[in-house]
Amino acid sequence: MANHKSALKRHRQSLVRRDRNRMNKSKVKTAMKKVDAAIEVDGSVEKAREALVTAVPVIERAAVKGAFHKKTASRKISRLTRKVNKFALSKESAA
């Protein structure tokens, strides 16, 4: 355990940041799961697009806050968008 005053403060800061990062990462995971659920469970293109529209700002906000690197956030958004678009195309071609 740290003994110096500055090291103790650094430790407190790291605990606060860890909790904040965990919270932001959890929000991202939940948002991504909602998009997946809209595709697989509901099977609705509208719900999938709606979930994507709500998920993108959550992912971007986590990157801005430092929970993810900006390229990681971009990759997550890109993969979700491709997944929704592919689902929408398969629904349109089936109809």
pLDDT at res. 43: 86
Q: Which value, to the nearest 10 degrees, does the dihedral of the CA atoms of residues 16, 22, 24, 25 take?
A: 160
Written as six digits, the tokens of 30 are 């939940």
SS3 1: coil
Q: Does the predicted model carry a pTM greater than 0.85?
A: yes
pLDDT in tens, 36-75: 999 999 888 999 999 999 999 999 999 999 999 999 999 9
Q: Which two tokens stand for residue 4?
A: 């110096």
Give pLDDT, residue 68: 94
> What are the residues whose beta carbons fall under 8 Å from the beta carbon of 64, sequence distance 6 or more?
none
pLDDT-based confidence at residue 95 (cuts at 50, 70, 90): low
Asked whether residue 2 carries a pLDDT value surpassing 80, the answer given is: no
**In the block, which residue shows the tokens 């956030």?**
73
Q: What is the pLDDT of residue 49?
A: 96
The CB density around residue 1, as the number of other CB atoms within 10 Å, is: 5
Per-residue confidence (pLDDT) for residue 23, from 0 to 100 = 97
Residue 22's identity, in one-letter code, is: R
What residue type is 61 in one-letter code?
R
Q: What structural domains does the chain harbor?
A: 25-94 (1.20.58)
